[in-house]
Structure 1
């Protein structure tokens, strides 16, 4: 592979004027006649949605042809659980992106659509119910002939789904997606939607297997990474020596999936703790990311940091936002849940800019032609207010960092004295906090007994 080919994105946007669409041809067995045919692969991406793999097979010997589309999207670090309370016909129009691995549940009527029962789709809540009704009605004539009793029960349940679609009573729609690639529209965007709850979770063994991740492979990858680290730092490397070195390891771009390099460095934040900073720069598409991980685990208590912006210099404060930390601006009625921005080590201005980019530029339900004029107006108004804060023209608003793991930090410019504009509160985690952090299933005392 040449240097120029190495720099090309793996998944490129499909364009009519693209003279080099990167089609890969592979000789493959024809299941119809047993001779060799030709499979053509095209890796492309749907704007504001996901990467896909187009496959076309043709056999010159028997004329057999087959076309198929498969998902090429990456699996997110965490799964996502989305709960929507549907109370009116307006809620039925919420846009939904459902991945191949997502299950859909309606607890009130004991209804569930298992994962991979059909391919991922872009639809709305009404569309999900309509497809479920159509799917059950499709085989009813056969059921009535073979098993009238079962057909009668299914007919009764179809009527329940029809009544549910009419929104005669409120109900809860739950999308459980271990891949983390499902979305539901926020009707109040960019403000908090009280009817929409999004929770990110660590996958268990069964969920990892569902999305194609196996512990044996993860173990091998971890061992390889440890060997690479030992080769760079030496077997006798200590935290002191690591603090002076930048480690490099190969990875894939999170935007175009092209091979690139990630730099990693251990650093110490004054008056706080050691953290690991990772930065990736893709030469193929120009995408840049930076991420921060805590180097000291989960603290005994959570922390809530509130800063009132009173001066433009406040925007230059250093901020460490861990991946378990949520961010909110009460004066704008705005909140970003934990896991949305990932871990960030930047300035307050940089964090607000990243939040804006994530909200307006990377959200698949707030970009493109599908966005309504009402949402566009709301987003323009919100972006105007946020830009005023970022540019230092608006003062008095509060920025709140809430981290149940206690691994987030906001610079105190008066350190070691107290900061009059900043309030730090340490609190005991709730059961729900510990559940999200995976602590409820951990044995923290006398664990030697199980060995």
Structure 2
């Protein structure tokens, strides 16, 4: 009997990076029962790691007797700290080619048809928008012959609805596709990256207790809120340590959390995870105070390489804009960070260029690859102080910060603007239950 080495169990070799050049990375074949004709078919499983999506399990079943086949994808990595919701305005047939990863915990909705695919109703999939519609149509058509014989009224209504779904593929009228995933492991492609996608809105949210129970993060019978920690003075003087898993290799690691007072700003919560196994390090910052009455837009005119050493706090509600590159990074894309300007730009490059899952393999587009490669080179020039640009931190919650190296005197390179939030921004911040009087419509 073969023995699996400890390093294999810990993810060193079990989940290999996906690569067309790796001849040793072959799927595992398992003879299994076909649920269509009940003869023996073949299931192929591949354990791999896709940049940005961490570890995944790709499985494909095919039956040589009846020709039935099925593919699915499952996340083998950790559940993210926040859920994610993608709202896409489908305006043309080109939008149907957007690639997406839909986890099995994701809920899919098309408001115009009052159509919803509940969470865990389908297995996870790696597909396109058109493929998602085809899968929904096939699922509805599957039992139609039986319905036409037993309940013809219901079958007629379903036929009419299926026709509406098929018409969506013609994109005669604009429609909205919403994918809401509390696990945070779903993804919809931005074909114009690194520029902001006007048709796609990405929001992060905190899971409810019920969603935690669905994902197995707490017992089903434990639906009571945990008692809050009130001893803030104790938390300020101590580094709290709790167990978690490394987001890269999934090995058990420790996360440190501490309250820190930033000079000339406010108190923040810093959480840092260091993995002794693979060396991965990550940090996340959350504001220790409430949402400010006004939003804040901080503009830095980069004039010298020394600007890269400025400390900055980017909250999870802050967008990063570089007008000279026509680039905008939406809120929550990188989470909260307490780093330097150089560190932020390197994180942006890693997210947009290095870890983009659609820039390798058959799904890659050479024009887009060259475009993102050029974008990465421009970021390198900014870090080296070879480009005259503006870095804008736009935070509607007012909880972001950029170091003033001339403090307490004004910084000639920094412009800070306070503004009133719009009604939509209040909704994004979860303030829609508050009185909206005084806010812009």
Distance 1:332 1:69 in 2: 35
Shift of 1:17: 5.7
Distance 1:264 1:133 in 2: 47
Pick one of 75, 80, 86 that aligns with 1:82. 86
Distance 2:276 2:184 in 1: 27
Out of 327-336 and 45-54, give the one that drifted further.
Answer: 45-54
Distance 2:58 2:179 in 1: 27
Q: Spell out the pairing of 1:38-437 with structure 2 (5 A cutoff).
A: 44-48=47-51, 49-52=53-56, 71-214=75-218, 238=234, 242=237, 246-395=239-388, 397-437=389-429
Shift of 1:246: 4.3
Flag the 1:6–1:85 CA change in 2: closer, same or farther, 3 A.
closer
SS at match of 1:136: helix
Structure 1 unmatched ranges of 5 or more: 22-41, 56-67, 444-451
Distance 2:412 2:55 in 1: 48
SS at match of 1:389: helix
**Does the 8 Å CA contact 2:299/2:392 hold for their aligned counterparts?**
yes
Flag the 1:70–1:355 CA change in 2: closer, same or farther, 3 A.
closer
Distance 2:246 2:75 in 1: 17
Q: Spell out the pairing of 1:12-31 with structure 2 (5 A cutoff).
A: 12-14=14-16
Shift of 1:389: 0.8
TM-score (norm 1): 0.78
Deviations along 1:312-368, one digit per CA (max 9) or x if unpaired, are 121111111112211111111111111111111111111110111122233433455
Distance 1:296 1:213 in 2: 27
State the partner residue of 1:35: none
Flag the 1:78–1:69 CA change in 2: closer, same or farther, 3 A.
closer
**Does the 8 Å CA contact 1:11/1:44 hold for their aligned counterparts?**
no
Deviations along 1:90-142, one digit per CA (max 9) or x if unpaired, are 11100011111112222222222222111110100110111112222221211
Flag the 1:53–1:382 CA change in 2: closer, same or farther, 3 A.
closer
Flag the 1:156–1:342 CA change in 2: closer, same or farther, 3 A.
same
SS at match of 1:46: strand
Deviations along 1:170-229, one digit per CA (max 9) or x if unpaired, are 222111222222111111111111111112222334333333344876979x67x97xxx
**Does the 8 Å CA contact 1:7/1:283 hold for their aligned counterparts?**
no
Shift of 1:47: 2.5
**Does the 8 Å CA contact 2:209/2:223 hold for their aligned counterparts?**
no
**Does the 8 Å CA contact 1:6/1:259 hold for their aligned counterparts?**
no
Distance 1:111 1:153 in 2: 14
State the partner residue of 1:34: none
**Does the 8 Å CA contact 2:73/2:103 hold for their aligned counterparts?**
no
Distance 1:156 1:192 in 2: 37
Flag the 1:202–1:246 CA change in 2: closer, same or farther, 3 A.
closer
Flag the 1:379–1:255 CA change in 2: closer, same or farther, 3 A.
same
Flag the 1:74–1:267 CA change in 2: closer, same or farther, 3 A.
same
**Does the 8 Å CA contact 2:405/2:411 hold for their aligned counterparts?**
yes
Flag the 1:69–1:428 CA change in 2: closer, same or farther, 3 A.
closer
Flag the 1:368–1:246 CA change in 2: closer, same or farther, 3 A.
farther
Flag the 1:239–1:260 CA change in 2: closer, same or farther, 3 A.
closer
Deviations along 1:39-90, one digit per CA (max 9) or x if unpaired, are xxx99543233435799xxxxxxxxxxxx98643322222222111222221
SS at match of 1:419: coil
Flag the 1:236–1:111 CA change in 2: closer, same or farther, 3 A.
closer
Pick one of 414, 428, 431 that aligns with 1:439. 431
Flag the 1:345–1:219 CA change in 2: closer, same or farther, 3 A.
farther
- State how many pairs are aligned: 394
